[in-house]
């Protein structure tokens, strides 16, 4: 029995706009494009599951097809659910390691210095390539010895002094890999007289689990997080996320992909830049000093899907002295775990080349993006350091 979400494909008018916006179809002739893989293919799969097309594995779930669709078809979701129903996910050791970020972080963070050295060694990278299929040309993210949650314990007493409070869903990367963005969010909000609290317990939002086919685990995480959100929102105004993919998953994928009902609190789960710019519009703006830099801003796909790029641009344009050049809205090609897989490496690089070329043609001090996955891809393929918008905002605090 199909539910109403699963039948969104029936609104497809076959205009193929989604395919013209698909970064994979542009560079990989083996992928027929989201129209054929999604709505067209779904009609066939309903008639006969044997008509499932293995080409669906090339989809990165960037959601650009959904942004482009004039009929509101959830093309990416149709493809993801089709892969789940018809065994289209390869769930081997590689997929488990790449997707279970909570577990890998909790195991790796205590031994971060050793792990970080080991994963950068050529023999280790070659071994991961040959045995697991994690491409040796990619640079694996480093871990932090002090997690964001352990750092935040030292801030708890200060945060209780603020009358207004928001909850922060920090996500796996901020907690286990690089706490910088989380620390800067706290600094910015405190400068606006807003305190920060954390969920008592937090699990991965689920986006890497969904991307690798571990739907049951993603659903368990979603149910736990939803319970934590409900408890947290009794004492805080809203829940903020600084990672676009986390925000999209918490707000949209929980219902549309995992079928976890989040209606009661969805509107109180916000991308951090959207909340901050809303506060600016109300007059709650911290004192800021000039940051005399020239930066290029890259729009993450999942932030485009949420219509959130305008909020980040407002935030950046509010910083005195900052010159912002907005790059064309092209996909960087990393797409979370997608670009780390050996069979996807060339596609990932070909997709991102347009972004790399734009950056190389500009004389900028830094590249700015909201997405940690985009940050990794750009730093691996250009000589530029990549900053989060909140890092620039924190630097501007007087």
Q: Where are the beta strands (DSSP E) in 268-334?
A: 269-271, 294-297, 323-326
DSSP class of 386: E
Determine the Cα angle at 337 with ends 128 and 169, to 5°: 125
Q: Is the pLDDT of residue 1 over 90?
A: no
Span 243-292, pLDDT tens digits: 999 999 999 999 999 999 999 999 999 999 999 999 999 999 999 999 99
Query: Taking a C-beta distance cutoff of 8 angstroms, is the pair 34, 61 a contact?
Result: no
Read off the pLDDT of each residue in 157-182 and give the average, rounded to a whole number.
Answer: 97
Give percent above pLDDT 90 in the chain. Answer: 95
378 or 398: which leads in pLDDT: 378
Residue 18 binned pLDDT confidence (cut-offs 50, 70, 90): very high
Predicted confidence at residue 6, as pLDDT, reads 60
Read off the pLDDT of each residue in 159-188 and give the average, rounded to a whole number.
Answer: 97
Give percent above pLDDT 70 in the chain. Answer: 98
Q: Is the pLDDT of residue 134 over 90?
A: yes
Residue 9 binned pLDDT confidence (cut-offs 50, 70, 90): confident
11 vs 74: CA distance, rounded Å: 10
First to last CA, the chain: 58
Query: Taking a C-beta distance cutoff of 8 angstroms, is the pair 205, 225 a contact?
Result: yes
Residue 10 binned pLDDT confidence (cut-offs 50, 70, 90): confident
| Closest among 236, 315, 307, 312 to 269, alpha carbons compared | 236
Predicted confidence at residue 95, as pLDDT, reads 97
Angle formed by the axes of helices 372-381 and 345-360, nearest 10° = 80
Determine the Cα angle at 151 with ends 149 and 157, to 5°: 95
Mean pLDDT in the chain? 95
Q: Is the pLDDT of residue 112 over 50?
A: yes
51 vs 151: CA distance, rounded Å: 52
Read off the pLDDT of each residue in 333-353 and give the average, rounded to a whole number.
Answer: 97
Half-sphere exposure of 368 (CA within 13 A, CB side): 25
Span 281-335, pLDDT tens digits: 999 999 999 999 999 999 999 999 999 999 999 999 999 999 999 999 999 999 9
Q: Is the pLDDT of residue 83 over 90?
A: yes
What the chain holds in terms of domains, given with CATH numbers, is 8-85 (1.10.1060.10), 286-396 (3.40.50)
pTM of the full predicted structure? 0.94
Q: Is the pLDDT of residue 4 over 90?
A: no
10 or 124: which leads in pLDDT: 124
Span 216-238, pLDDT tens digits: 999 999 999 999 999 999 999 99
Q: Is the pLDDT of residue 2 over 90?
A: no
Residue 61 binned pLDDT confidence (cut-offs 50, 70, 90): very high
Read off the pLDDT of each residue in 348-362 and give the average, rounded to a whole number.
Answer: 96
């Amino acid at each position: 029995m199909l539910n109403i979400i699963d039948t969104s494909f029936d609104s497809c008018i076959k205009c193929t706009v989604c395919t013209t916006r698909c970064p994979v179809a542009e560079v990989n002739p083996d992928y027929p494009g989201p129209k054929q893989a999604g709505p067209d293919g779904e009609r066939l799969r309903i008639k006969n599951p044997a008509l499932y097309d293995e080409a669906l594995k090339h989809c990165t779930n960037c959601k650009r097809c959904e942004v482009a669709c004039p009929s509101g078809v959830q093309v990416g979701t149709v493809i993801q659910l089709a892969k789940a129903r018809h065994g289209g996910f390869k769930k081997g050791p590689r997929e488990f390691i790449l997707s279970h970020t909570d577990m890998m972080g909790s195991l790796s963070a205590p031994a971060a210095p050793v792990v970080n050295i080991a994963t950068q060694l050529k023999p280790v990278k070659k071994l991961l390539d040959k045995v697991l299929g994690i491409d040796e040309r990619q640079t694996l993210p480093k871990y932090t010895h002090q997690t964001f949650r352990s750092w935040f314990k030292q801030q708890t007493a200060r945060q209780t002094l603020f009358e207004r409070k928001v909850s922060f869903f920090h996500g796996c990367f901020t907690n286990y890999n690089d706490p910088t963005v989380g620390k800067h969010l706290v600094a910015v909000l405190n400068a606006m007289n807003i305190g920060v609290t954390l969920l008592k317990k937090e699990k991965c939002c689920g986006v890497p689990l969904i991307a690798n086919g571990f739907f049951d685990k993603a659903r368990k995480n979603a149910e736990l997080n939803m319970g934590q959100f409900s408890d947290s929102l009794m004492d805080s105004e809203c829940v903020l996320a600084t990672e676009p993919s986390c925000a999209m998953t918490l707000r949209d994928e929980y219902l549309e992909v995992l079928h976890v009902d989040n209606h009661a609190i969805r509107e109180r789960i916000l991308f951090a830049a959207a909340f901050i710019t809303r506060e600016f519009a109300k007059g709650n703006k911290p004192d800021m000093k000039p940051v005399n830099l020239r930066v290029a801003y890259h729009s993450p796909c999942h932030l485009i899907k949420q219509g959130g790029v305008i909020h980040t641009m407002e935030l950046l344009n509010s910083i005195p002295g900052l010159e912002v050049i907005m790059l064309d809205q092209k996909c960087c090609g990393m797409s979370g775990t997608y670009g780390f897989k050996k069979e996807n490496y060339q596609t990932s690089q070909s997709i991102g080349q347009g972004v790399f070329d734009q950056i190389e043609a500009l004389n900028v001090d830094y590249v700015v993006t909201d997405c940690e996955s985009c940050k990794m891809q750009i730093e691996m393929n250009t000589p530029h350091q990549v900053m989060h918008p909140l890092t620039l905002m924190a630097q501007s605090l007087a």
